[in-house]
């Protein structure tokens, strides 16, 4: 498989995953009544962690392969979009989930939802750029 095809596949997978999280998962999580928060957040975290590992692992492999193969400007945009989504996850979303795992906090939940929308934007930019680079 060529680097550009791998990058298209991984960034498309990531964008699709991120769209589902943004459109369905986080709104349902945010609508959780406060008295049910701890249990639902724990279940969410257990269920989504393996999926996140698979999706982000795929993108990491594709980005590394593309970078080693050499990317043009559009490929660089795809890599930058993926790196941005990773950074938002590592430095904002993951710590927010850690905090929310200790109890409901409206301010932290709001930060998580906003960050999630930015991750979706980064993932979509990465996927569009990867497709454009492959054409």
The pLDDT of residue 98: 96
Query: In whole angstroms, what is the distance from residue 65 CA to residue 51 CA?
Result: 21
Query: In whole angstroms, what is the distance from residue 79 CA to residue 63 CA?
Result: 6
103: left (phi over 0), alpha (psi -120 to 50) or beta: left
Cβ pair 11, 78 in contact under 8 A: yes
The pLDDT of residue 69: 86
Mean pLDDT by 10 residues, the chain (135 residues): 91 98 97 95 96 97 91 94 97 97 96 98 98 94
User: How far is C-alpha 35 from the geometric centre of its chain's CA atoms?
Assistant: 28
């Amino acid at each position: 498989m060529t680097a550009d095809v791998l990058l298209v596949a991984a960034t498309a997978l990531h964008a699709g995953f991120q769209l589902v999280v943004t459109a369905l998962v986080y709104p349902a999580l945010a609508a959780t009544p406060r008295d049910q928060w701890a249990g639902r957040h724990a279940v969410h975290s257990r269920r989504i962690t393996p999926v996140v590992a698979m999706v982000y692992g795929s993108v990491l492999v594709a980005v590394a392969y593309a970078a080693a193969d050499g990317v043009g400007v559009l490929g660089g945009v795809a890599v930058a979009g993926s790196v941005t989504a990773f950074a938002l996850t590592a430095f904002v979303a993951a710590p927010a989930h850690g905090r929310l795992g200790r109890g409901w906090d409206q301010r932290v939940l709001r930060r998580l939802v906003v960050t999630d929308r930015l991750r979706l934007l980064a993932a979509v930019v990465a996927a569009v750029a990867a497709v454009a680079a492959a054409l």
